[in-house]
């Protein structure tokens, strides 16, 4: 800008935060009442960008590991937040893993640059905001009464995601069907084991209005998933099997589509490339999330106009969201005109 | 913006222009002294974006066909230039073909939106501007004396592109080698016929410092190109065989890389997706051009930091460039800080 003053440098700060869940969240192999996250801020030239790492315990990252990773980064070496290739390649190469912590940097950087551009990212990316899909709303594994209550609470949502892979999958579906006839998607989280039984179950689910099945078998079983995809009457979507861009090549022919989550793929920049690559390879895209605040969910929502399906309910499952961002109205994602990722920090405490 | 005034609408204007070539340009099957182009302007809210369609006669588009296509577009239906998915899908679906005319709209739209964002597109895309490659400089098929003169004129360039596919390929290479030992790339433009002779020639070329070979055989001969790619000691690059994003899937395994040109692929938006997809499929990328003004060349140059090779010499081959844009310094593409595609219109006449 000028030769007399030192160049402004990126400044990264972060603080741990615990998301309190409205309901105990039960998956095939775990349950919890709190999700630990790390909230991140990048400052530059009077602008602030917010990011978030969400770390459900079963994925391996913790507030401690995220603090260690983020604390090891020297973003002060960068004097231009638009050099995202350079900054995010540096971040990615600093240590293996840490995908949620890496995503928090990417999200904050997008929020920051979007605010400098004075445009929301969906707009800079050239997307059509009305093309956002309906989001599914997740019904965790639970007792009959709680499931029925959750389904009733989900009345604004037009499609429900059912967590399967427990011993009572058929009962779970029948319970939901006693309350609603909305379309369902089934997320098995690798919970089934036998491919022929899985196929039989998929036929049974189709009869009951399930529209696709996510990660039915353990992710390592590529051939079995390919067999299922070839024989299944419903699309088979990869979740655990596809984390990053480099996983898509192998998923082609094995799955009909992929679930892209910022916390798996290190953020918006790689997620955007994954959408382009998946579509070029004739695969469909779901944009998903973990339990997250409106910060990470609103970031992911920027990509939703180019996604066939969305599962962006993470912020709806918590009681202490410190951000105000993208909203769900009648089950559909409604993008706002706010710059960056479309969020405001509304909490009292400091990041 | 406000409810009282009618919304501003996109306004498209265009005018034909003839590029005068410094040298008669000879390919395997044609030669010419002029390249017809169409210059395009899109206006919105006091901003102007410039675009260009370059139409070498052998590709089938003409100033007449471009005028017909552009005249048939109703961009006045759009009140937001950032809705590029919507605007460019409309443009693409208006008629088949017309890829250069479509590119002129895409380039003008990027210049316009980049000016509104007050940033060059390479920056908004997050690229590292110093990563631009050296551009090759094209030496057309000609008599020995003229070839030697052209090579001497090409002294600022660090890599030369040689047009082969005529009866005197070896003579051409030997003539160039009598003047310089710079690395060469060979562009055959489908000019060879026999795959075994092609392979033999490629070995011969490698001995003489050629680094890759572009479109050696007719584009329809997929199996022969796949055989060449498997057996060749040099990368085999697709040009005529890969025009648009949808062609990449078939090119995988057939070629080592692709030459992306805005005039083939309908513009920057699709070219950007092609780079992402090619890299995800382990293919290399050259960003190329036709004979063009600095308008289309500077637009393509925005993508060059993510391209392994560049052949962006189109504006260097003409005497009447009406634009001032991205420069080549010591053979390397130097991006500027100007917003949009980095060009200024410096001519007296009106688009």
Q: What is the mean pLDDT of residues A101-116?
A: 98
Contact by Cβ (8 Å): A11, A73 = no
State how far residue B289 is from chain A, nearest Cα, in angstroms. Answer: 23
C-alpha torsion B292→B298→B302→B307, nearest 10: 40
Contact by Cβ (8 Å): B247, B254 = no
Residues on chain B touching A131 (C-beta within 8 angstroms)? 85
What pLDDT does B28 receive?
A: 60
What pLDDT does A285 receive?
A: 98
Residues on chain B touching A84 (C-beta within 8 angstroms)? 126
Name the residue facing B276 among A124, A276, A306 (closest C-beta). Answer: A276
Residues on chain B touching A273 (C-beta within 8 angstroms)? 276, 280
State how far residue B145 is from chain A, nearest Cα, in angstroms. Answer: 45
Name the residue facing B126 among A85, A123, A282 (closest C-beta). Answer: A85
Name the residue facing B82 among A126, A249, A273 (closest C-beta). Answer: A126
Clarify whether residues A169 and A96 are in a common domain. Answer: no
Mutating which of B89, B92, B126, B132 best tests the A interface, going by the most A Cβ atoms within 10 A? Answer: B126
Would you call B82 and A281 a contact, using CB atoms and an 8 Å cutoff? no
In whole angstroms, give the CA distance from residue B307 to residue B4. 47
State how far residue B340 is from chain A, nearest Cα, in angstroms. Answer: 12
Residues on chain A touching B246 (C-beta within 8 angstroms)? 280
Domain that holds residue B335: 123-345
Please report how the helices B84-94 and B99-117 are oriented relative to each other, as an axis angle in degrees rounded to 10: 160
pLDDT at A5 over 70: no
pLDDT at A138 over 50: yes
In whole angstroms, give the CA distance from residue B310 to residue B288. 6
Clarify whether residues B85 and B141 are in a common domain. Answer: no
Name the residue facing A119 among B117, B245, B269 (closest C-beta). Answer: B117
Last residue within a domain, chosen from A121, A149, A169: A121
What pLDDT does B3 receive?
A: 52
The DSSP code for B76 is G
CATH number where A59 lies:
3.30.390.10
State how far residue A351 is from chain B, nearest Cα, in angstroms. Answer: 26
Two tokens, residue B322: 């009406």
**Which of the four pLDDT bands, split at 50, 70 and 90, describes residue B289?**
very high
Clarify whether residues A144 and A99 are in a common domain. Answer: no
With an 8 Å Cβ cutoff, the interface of chain B facing chain A consists of 82-86, 88, 113, 117-119, 123-124, 126-128, 131, 245-246, 248-249, 269, 273, 276-277, 280-282, 305-306
Two tokens, residue B305: 């930091």
- Write down the mean pLDDT value for chain A: 95
Question: In terms of Cα–Cα distance, which of B92, B101, B121, B95 is closest to B59?
Answer: B101
Residues on chain A touching B119 (C-beta within 8 angstroms)? 82, 117
What pLDDT does B27 receive?
A: 63
Q: Read off φ and ψ for residue B5, nearest 5 degrees.
A: -100, 150
In a domain, A1, yes or no: no
The DSSP code for A305 is G
A159 three-class SS = strand
Question: In terms of Cα–Cα distance, which of A317, A326, A292, A346 is closest to A137?
Answer: A317
Last residue within a domain, chosen from A86, A121, A156: A121
Say which residues have a Cβ less than 8 Å from residue A280's Cβ, sequence separation at least 6.
Answer: B245, B246, B248, B249, B273, B277, B280
With an 8 Å Cβ cutoff, the interface of chain A facing chain B consists of 82-86, 88, 117-119, 123-124, 126-128, 131, 245-246, 248-249, 269, 273, 276-277, 280-282, 305-306
User: A196: which strand partners?
Assistant: none
Choice among A91-95, A314-318, B11-15, B49-53 with the minimum mean pLDDT: A314-318
Alpha helices in A7-128 (DSSP H): 63-72, 84-94, 99-117, 121-124
pLDDT at A121 over 60: yes
Two tokens, residue B154: 């090409």
Pairing of strands B323-324, B309-310: unpaired
A291 three-class SS = coil
Question: In terms of Cα–Cα distance, which of B313, B348, B346 is closest to B328?
Answer: B313
Two tokens, residue A116: 């400098």
What pLDDT does A216 receive?
A: 98
State how far residue A322 is from chain B, nearest Cα, in angstroms. Answer: 29
Two tokens, residue A88: 């995010």
pLDDT at A31 over 90: no
Residues on chain A touching B127 (C-beta within 8 angstroms)? 85
pLDDT at B45 over 90: yes
Question: Sign of the CA dihedral A130, A133, A139, A145?
Answer: positive
What pLDDT does B29 receive?
A: 67
Q: What is the mean pLDDT of residues B239-246?
A: 97
pLDDT at A347 over 90: no
In whole angstroms, give the CA distance from residue A284 to residue A308. 6
Clarify whether residues A214 and A194 are in a common domain. Answer: yes
In whole angstroms, give the CA distance from residue A169 to residue A165. 7
Question: Sign of the CA dihedral A303, A278, A316, A264?
Answer: negative
Query: Taking chain A, what is the end-to-end CA distance rounded to the nearest angstrom?
Result: 28
Two tokens, residue A291: 């339990």
In whole angstroms, give the CA distance from residue B13 to residue B38. 10
What pLDDT does A282 receive?
A: 95
**Residues composing chain A:** 351
User: Number of residue pairs across A and B with CB atoms under 8 Å?
Assistant: 64
Chain B nearest-CA residue for A273: B276
Clarify whether residues A82 and A50 are in a common domain. Answer: yes
Question: In terms of Cα–Cα distance, which of B330, B342, B327, B212 is closest to B268?
Answer: B342
* 3-state DSSP helix/strand/coil % of chain B, to nearest 5: 40, 25, 35
Q: Read off φ and ψ for residue A229, nearest 5 degrees.
A: -60, -40
Between residues B108 and A3, which one has the greater pLDDT?
Answer: B108
pLDDT at B2 over 50: no
Residues on chain A touching B280 (C-beta within 8 angstroms)? 245-246, 248-249, 273, 277, 280
What pLDDT does A32 receive?
A: 82
pLDDT at B1 over 50: no
Would you call B281 and A127 a contact, using CB atoms and an 8 Å cutoff? no
Say which residues have a Cβ less than 8 Å from residue A286's Cβ, sequence separation at least 6.
Answer: A214, A237, A257, A258, A259, A260, A307, A308, A309, A310, A311
Mutating which of A82, A87, A110, A269 best tests the B interface, going by the most B Cβ atoms within 10 A? Answer: A82
Would you call B85 and A277 a contact, using CB atoms and an 8 Å cutoff? no
What pLDDT does A7 receive?
A: 83
Name the residue facing B249 among A86, A127, A281 (closest C-beta). Answer: A281
Beta strands in A272-342 (DSSP E): 284-288, 309-310, 323-324, 327-329, 332-334
Residues on chain B touching A88 (C-beta within 8 angstroms)? 126
How many beta carbons lie within 10 A of that of residue A194, not counting itself? 11
Clarify whether residues B270 and B164 are in a common domain. Answer: yes
Digit-coded pLDDT (tens) for A12-22: 999 999 999 98
Last residue within a domain, chosen from B84, B100, B121: B121
**Which of the four pLDDT bands, split at 50, 70 and 90, describes residue A349?**
confident
Would you call A124 and B245 a contact, using CB atoms and an 8 Å cutoff? no
Q: What is the mean pLDDT of residues B223-245?
A: 98
How many beta carbons lie within 10 A of that of residue B268, not counting itself? 27
In a domain, B48, yes or no: yes
pLDDT at A1 over 70: no
Clarify whether residues A129 and A48 are in a common domain. Answer: no
Contact by Cβ (8 Å): A171, A197 = no
Contact by Cβ (8 Å): A238, A224 = no
Clarify whether residues A43 and A96 are in a common domain. Answer: yes
B350 three-class SS = coil
- Rg of the Cα trace of chain B? 20
Would you call A305 and B127 a contact, using CB atoms and an 8 Å cutoff? no
Clarify whether residues B139 and B276 are in a common domain. Answer: yes
In whole angstroms, give the CA distance from residue B258 to residue B118. 31
Chain B nearest-CA residue for A118: B117
Digit-coded pLDDT (tens) for A305-346: 999 999 999 999 899 999 999 999 999 999 999 999 999 999
State how far residue A275 is from chain B, nearest Cα, in angstroms. Answer: 10
State how far residue B268 is from chain A, nearest Cα, in angstroms. Answer: 12
Clarify whether residues A128 and A117 are in a common domain. Answer: no
Clarify whether residues A232 and A288 are in a common domain. Answer: yes
Name the residue facing A117 among B88, B119, B276 (closest C-beta). Answer: B119
Digit-coded pLDDT (tens) for A244-282: 999 999 999 999 999 999 999 999 999 999 999 999 999
Number of folded domains in chain B? 2
Say which residues have a Cβ less than 8 Å from residue A98's Cβ, sequence separation at least 6.
Answer: A61, A65, A66, A69
**Residues composing chain B:** 351
Digit-coded pLDDT (tens) for A187-226: 999 999 999 999 999 999 999 999 999 999 999 999 999 9
A14 three-class SS = strand
Residues on chain B touching A249 (C-beta within 8 angstroms)? 280-282
Contact by Cβ (8 Å): A111, A343 = yes
Residue with token string 């974006």? B49
Mutating which of B118, B275, B280, B283 best tests the A interface, going by the most A Cβ atoms within 10 A? Answer: B280
State how far residue A165 is from chain B, nearest Cα, in angstroms. Answer: 32
- Rg of the Cα trace of chain A? 20
Question: In terms of Cα–Cα distance, which of B198, B224, B218, B284 is closest to B248?
Answer: B284
Q: What is the mean pLDDT of residues B44-50?
A: 97
CATH number where B297 lies:
3.20.20.120
What pLDDT does B25 receive?
A: 72
Residues on chain A touching B250 (C-beta within 8 angstroms)? none
Mutating which of A130, A258, A276 best tests the B interface, going by the most B Cβ atoms within 10 A? Answer: A276
In a domain, B35, yes or no: yes
Digit-coded pLDDT (tens) for A227-250: 999 999 999 999 999 999 999 999
Chain B nearest-CA residue for A281: B249
Percent of chain A with pLDDT over 90: 88
Would you call B128 and A276 a contact, using CB atoms and an 8 Å cutoff? no
In a domain, A205, yes or no: yes
In a domain, B236, yes or no: yes
Clarify whether residues A88 and A214 are in a common domain. Answer: no
In whole angstroms, give the CA distance from residue A210 to residue A205. 5
- Write down the mean pLDDT value for chain B: 95
In a domain, A350, yes or no: no
* DSSP code string of A246-289: GGHHHHBTTBSEEEEEHHHHTSHHHHHHHHHHHHHTT-EEEEE-
In a domain, A351, yes or no: no
Residues on chain A touching B118 (C-beta within 8 angstroms)? 117
B44 three-class SS = strand
In a domain, A3, yes or no: no
Two tokens, residue B23: 């040298």
């Amino acid at each position: 800008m000028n030769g007399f003053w030192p160049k402004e440098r990126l400044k990264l700060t972060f603080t741990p935060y615990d998301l309190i869940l409205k309901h105990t969240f039960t998956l095939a192999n775990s349950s919890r009442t709190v999700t630990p996250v790390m909230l991140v801020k990048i400052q530059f030239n009077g602008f602030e960008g917010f990011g978030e790492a969400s770390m459900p315990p079963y994925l391996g990252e913790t507030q401690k590991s995220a603090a260690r990773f983020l604390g090891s980064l020297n973003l002060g070496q960068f004097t231009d937040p638009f050099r995202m290739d350079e900054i995010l390649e540096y971040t990615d190469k600093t240590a293996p893993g840490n995908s949620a912590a890496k995503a928090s940097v990417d999200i904050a950087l997008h929020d920051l640059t979007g605010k400098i551009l004075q445009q929301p990212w969906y707009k800079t990316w050239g997307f059509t905001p009305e093309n956002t899909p309906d989001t599914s709303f997740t019904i965790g594994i639970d007792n009959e009464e709680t499931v029925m209550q959750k389904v009733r609470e989900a009345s604004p949502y037009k499609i429900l995601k059912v967590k399967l892979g427990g011993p009572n999958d058929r009962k779970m579906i029948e319970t939901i069907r006693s309350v609603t006839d909305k379309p369902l998607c089934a997320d098995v989280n690798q919970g089934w084991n036998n491919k022929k039984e899985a196929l039989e179950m998929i036929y049974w689910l189709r009869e009951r209005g399930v529209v696709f099945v996510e990660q039915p078998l353990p992710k390592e079983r590529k051939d079995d998933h390919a067999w299922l995809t070839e024989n299944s009457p419903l699309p088979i979507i990869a979740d655990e099997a596809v984390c990053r861009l480099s996983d898509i090549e192998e998923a082609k022919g094995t799955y009909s589509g992929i679930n892209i989550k910022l916390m798996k793929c290190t953020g918006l920049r790689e997620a955007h490339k994954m959408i382009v690559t998946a579509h070029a390879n004739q695969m469909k895209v779901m944009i998903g999330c973990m339990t997250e605040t409106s910060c990470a969910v609103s970031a992911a929502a920027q990509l939703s106009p180019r996604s066939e399906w969305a599962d962006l309910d993470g912020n709806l499952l918590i009681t202490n969201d410190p951000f105000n961002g993208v909203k769900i109205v009648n089950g559909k994602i409604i993008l706002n005109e706010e710059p960056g990722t479309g969020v405001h920090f509304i909490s009292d405490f400091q990041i």
